[in-house]
Amino acid sequence: MKLISGGVCAAKGYKANGVHCGIRKNKTKRDLSLVVSDVKASAAAVYTLNLVKGAPLTVTKQHIADGYAQAIICNSGNANTCNANGMEIAEQMSALVSQYTGISADDVVVASTGVIGQPLDIAPIAGGMDALNGGLSYDGNAAAAEGIMTTDTVMKEVAVEFELSGKTCRLGGTAKGSGMIHPNMATMLVFLTTDAAISPAMLQKALSGDIQSTFNMLSVDGDTSTNDMVTVLANGLAGNPEITEENEGFSLFMQALNTVTVQLCRMIAGDGEGATKLLECKVDGAKDIQTARTVAKSVICSSLLKAAMFGADANWGRVLCAIGYSGAQVDVNKIDVSFQSNKGEILVCKNGAGVDFSEEKAKEILLEKEIEILVSLNSGDACSCAWGCDLTYDYVKINGDYRT
């Protein structure tokens, strides 16, 4: 397994591009992206569990019901959610892709991100399609990654190279997500592409299984978006024997997928709105995996802990507090807690009680950009990890006038 560059264009047969079409007022920001596979690909997706869903998710679900797709179009600046004509706009976006690329509209994944409840005019999208399609290239991943960003401050791209039955395969992806992130299926928008050959059923199995330990373990602010979606296309151009069952090839594919999704989780958490630090809570010694996940997610979601991490305050009591209300059945008298970063590790709690530690050393550790919160439950062998960020003044500033 080797990390490579290229994002959604790392795998064979994928072109991409991103342009400014006029949805966003800032003309320096791209707001429309397109990813196209040279051939029809197996497709799988997971969607938000929020009852309020963006129209593009409904359309996408219909389009990939047969297990296949060939293109992904996404706009930023408007979520196309809670709009009376939302479905019509999403279908029109698909029709435009078909008009310019020749791909069937039914083979188009549609996504939108931005403000909820604002009408989305198809005119700027239609006006930008010529430039969007004309600029498609096998190295257009960066432009596409830029086009899906909203309050993101950095592009999020990852890709890996791996072997299946002697064939070199690649899997890459891009993500957007900075705020309104607390998914129960995926996180904001993630587009993954691979040239590995895998059946639609096994692709869906791989994606649905992976998100339980990756995107479902991510939280920035506790708000589950209406437009969360993770989509993966697999066009089979690497030439490996198609994966149709759980075998060695499937396990290797899962490893590649997990390598990419974990890195994207870390990127999203580290770029949380207003964030200055990436937080990673690692739980071990749990009696079962569900307990480990529940504890890790509760800790990473604690607003009080997130605020303490912003202030580099080793207020470990907030870790135990979050574990206590998580709903997980744990023996609080066995819990150990440590904080760790590039500056070292410091034990702050042993068997559910405080221990003497250097506040100065703790602050030095917590002033780093990446902080690990280590929790040992000492009641079993299961472990889990969750990702989040600190809570800063800027989060309120960003969301105080997000719409206006």
pLDDT in tens, 119-141: 999 999 999 999 999 999 999 99
- The pLDDT of residue 188 is above 80: no
The pLDDT value recorded for residue 5 is 97
- The pLDDT of residue 200 is above 70: yes
Among 208-217, 268-277, 310-319, 366-375, whose mean pLDDT is lowest? Answer: 268-277
Catalytic residue among 60, 81, 101, 187: 187
- The pLDDT of residue 185 is above 60: no
Mean pLDDT over residues 148-153, rounded? Answer: 88
**3-state per-residue secondary structure call for the chain:** CEEECCHHHCCCCEEEEEECCCCCCCCCCCCEEEEEEEEEEEEEEEECCCCCCCHHHHHHHHHCCCCEEEEEEEEEEECCCCCCCHHHHHHHHHHHHHHHHCCCHHHEEEEEEEECCCCCCHHHHHHHHHHHHHCCECCCHHHHHHHCCCCCCCCEEEEEEEEECCEEEEEEEEEECCCCCCCCCCCCEEEEEECCCECHHHHHHHHHHHCCCCHHHECCCCCCCCCCEEEEEECCCCCCCCECCCCHHHHHHHHHHHHHHHHHHHHHHHCCCCCCCEEEEEEEEECCHHHHHHHHHHHHHCHHHHHHHHCCCCCCHHHHHHHHCCCCCCCHHHCEEEEEECCEEEEEEECCEECCCCHHHHHHHHCCCEEEEEEECCCCCEEEEEEEECCCHHHHHHHHCCCC
Mean pLDDT over residues 399-403, rounded? Answer: 76
| Percent with pLDDT over 70 in the chain | 97
Given CATH 3.40.50.150, say whether it is the number of domain 2-270.
Answer: no
The pLDDT value recorded for residue 181 is 64
The pLDDT value recorded for residue 228 is 84
Structure confidence by residue, pLDDT tens digits, 328-349 = 999 999 999 999 999 999 999 9
| Percent with pLDDT over 90 in the chain | 84
Q: How confident is the model at residue 179 (pLDDT cuts 50, 70, 90)?
A: low
Q: How confident is the model at residue 222 (pLDDT cuts 50, 70, 90)?
A: confident
Instruction: Tell me whether residue 101 is one of the annotated catalytic residues.
Output: no
- The pLDDT of residue 186 is above 70: no
Residues of the chain with CATH 3.60.70.12: 2-270
Mean pLDDT over residues 382-395, rounded? Answer: 94
- Specify the CATH superfamily of domain 278-400: ArgJ beta chain, C-terminal domain (3.10.20.340)
Across the chain, what does the average pLDDT equal? 94
Mean pLDDT over residues 381-388, rounded? Answer: 97
Q: How confident is the model at residue 180 (pLDDT cuts 50, 70, 90)?
A: low
Structure confidence by residue, pLDDT tens digits, 259-279 = 999 999 999 988 888 899 999
Q: 115 vs 281, which has greater pLDDT?
A: 281
Residues of the chain with CATH 3.10.20.340: 278-400
The pLDDT value recorded for residue 187 is 46
The pLDDT value recorded for residue 399 is 80
Mean pLDDT over residues 242-271, rounded? Answer: 96
Mean pLDDT over residues 43-69, rounded? Answer: 94
